[in-house]
Amino acid sequence: MPAPDLPFRPAGWVNRLVAAPRFQAICARVPGLRGIARREGAAIFDLMQGFVQSQMLMALVELRVLHLLADGPATADALARRLDVPPERMAILLQAGAAMQLLRRKRDQFRLARRGAAFLAVPGLAEMVRHHDVLYRDLSDPVAFIKGQTEPELARFWPYVFGATDPMDPDVTARYSHLMAESQRMVADAALAQLSLSGVRHLLDVGGGTGMFLRAVRARYPGVKLALFDLPDVVKQAALPADVTRHGGSFRSDPLPAGADAISLVRVLYDHSDDTVRSLLARAYAALPSGGRLLVIEPMSGGARPDPQTDVYFSVYTLAMRTGRTRSAAEITDLLIQAGFVDFKTYPADKPFVTCILDARKP
């Protein structure tokens, strides 16, 4: 950032024009430009206040304000008494919730708004928000974080990404398995709304946690034979029908079981380094028959066209995990080519911040 006493002259004539005080004054007066200037100003302010919004969302979720207002409107005083919050502070929280369009205010009462109802309807979203306290602590010094000078707590939350195969603390296993299951519901729904599994006879889900994706597949494709491969401690907790085969192991060191004509990797690759991903893709290639499909289902970077969600949230999240990174579809395709896969197909993602889909085949 330039020193305050130096002239600010950004490169490029458009940027110099926009930064000029005289041009900004003109924009404030001209009707057509005034709206653009206001929107840009509001967008810049939203970038600055984003951390406050996320913390107020956390407070609304932790206090279950949205859930309580789903039952009907209430005043700030009534909610303050019920939740043991000072009334003047509850009023500020509710006003913030209404400003974020999660709540709607009518005189002295607040009710759930459409956006708030949609938030509650998304499976696992509230669980993800509760989990963010870990990420917030990791980002308390963002410069040190970006320089790699911190020891992120988030890396300890997901011990499996470091290749842990020894029996883990049951509480730790249960905690991250629960979060995986809750958040994976929306991923499974979004993916299967775009992806067709017609013609698949046997699907092996690798790194599938508690089996949420397989349960979603069973609901839509009851005739497909299903199998799960994950760490032994995780597979034991999978709530799956009795006819779903369970394979306990590590894809870092163990071969993947053969027999499936399709393998799914749901939110797996972005947890791991390129070397680990190359090894996993090679194992998937070896396990599949000729013509077998590999499905990569996870949020992906926008690459040459940076995405406002995946290139901020997911890229930083995976950086905090210290083992993986959020890759673009082109980067993943390059890794698949190295493994020997062909016939790549990407599916249009209605919600890229939930998941994208890349389909490949073994020749």
What average pLDDT score do residues 96-118 get?
Answer: 96
175 vs 295: which has the higher pLDDT = 295
Q: Is residue 3 domain-shared with residue 136, that is, in the same domain?
A: no
Residue 2's pLDDT band (cuts 50, 70, 90): very low
Query: Which tokens go with 15?
Result: 């940027």
User: Domain for residue 54, yes or no?
Assistant: no
199: CATH: 3.40.50.150
Mean pLDDT score of the chain, rounded to an integer? 88
> Given this model, what pLDDT does residue 46 score?
86
Is residue 36 helix, strand or coil? Answer: helix
Residue 285's pLDDT band (cuts 50, 70, 90): very high
Distance separating alpha carbons of residues 105 and 97, to the nearest angstrom: 9
> Given this model, what pLDDT does residue 307 score?
92
What average pLDDT score do residues 71-99 get?
Answer: 97
Q: Is residue 340 domain-shared with residue 192, that is, in the same domain?
A: yes
Residue 214 has pLDDT above 90, yes or no: yes
Residue 29's pLDDT band (cuts 50, 70, 90): confident
Tokens 């907790």 found at:
237
Q: Is residue 102 domain-shared with residue 153, that is, in the same domain?
A: no
Q: Is residue 260 domain-shared with residue 277, that is, in the same domain?
A: yes
User: Domain for residue 58, yes or no?
Assistant: no
Q: Is residue 206 domain-shared with residue 290, that is, in the same domain?
A: yes
Final residue of a structural domain among 75, 106, 121: 121
Q: Is residue 185 domain-shared with residue 274, that is, in the same domain?
A: yes
Residue 358 has pLDDT above 80, yes or no: yes
Final residue of a structural domain among 121, 144, 167: 121
User: Domain for residue 24, yes or no?
Assistant: yes
Distance separating alpha carbons of residues 310 and 353, to the nearest angstrom: 6
Q: Is residue 309 domain-shared with residue 266, that is, in the same domain?
A: yes
> What single letter denotes the amino acid at residue 60?
L
pLDDT tens-digit map of 250-279? 999 899 999 999 999 999 999 999 999 999
> Given this model, what pLDDT does residue 237 score?
81
> Given this model, what pLDDT does residue 123 score?
74
Q: Is residue 115 domain-shared with residue 130, that is, in the same domain?
A: no
Quote the domain boundaries for residue 23: 1-49
Distance separating alpha carbons of residues 177 and 233, to the nearest angstrom: 10
**In this structure, what DSSP letter does residue 155 have?**
H
Residue 177 has pLDDT above 70, yes or no: no
Among 271, 189, 195, 286, which Cα is nearest to 231's? Answer: 271
> Given this model, what pLDDT does residue 328 score?
96
Domain count across the chain: 3
* Neighbour count for residue 165 (Cβ, 10 Å): 15
Counting beta carbons within 10 angstroms of the beta carbon of residue 243, is it exposed (0 to 12), middle (13 to 18) or buried (19 or more)? exposed
Final residue of a structural domain among 105, 121, 137: 121
91: CATH: 1.10.10.10
10-19, 94-103, 122-131: segment of lowest average pLDDT: 10-19
Q: Is residue 160 domain-shared with residue 303, that is, in the same domain?
A: yes
156 vs 362: which has the higher pLDDT = 362
User: Domain for residue 322, yes or no?
Assistant: yes
Distance separating alpha carbons of residues 27 and 34, to the nearest angstrom: 5
> Given this model, what pLDDT does residue 11 score?
74
User: Domain for residue 197, yes or no?
Assistant: yes
114-123, 169-178, 179-188, 204-213: segment of lowest average pLDDT: 169-178
User: Domain for residue 57, yes or no?
Assistant: no
39 vs 71: which has the higher pLDDT = 71
Q: Is residue 257 domain-shared with residue 338, that is, in the same domain?
A: yes
User: Domain for residue 30, yes or no?
Assistant: yes
pLDDT tens-digit map of 230-242? 988 888 888 899 9
Residue 219 has pLDDT above 50, yes or no: yes
128-137, 247-256, 348-357: segment of lowest average pLDDT: 348-357
Q: Is residue 115 domain-shared with residue 136, that is, in the same domain?
A: no
Residue 337 has pLDDT above 90, yes or no: yes
Distance separating alpha carbons of residues 95 and 288, to the nearest angstrom: 55
109-113, 167-171, 322-326: segment of lowest average pLDDT: 167-171
Q: Is residue 161 domain-shared with residue 78, that is, in the same domain?
A: no
User: Domain for residue 55, yes or no?
Assistant: no
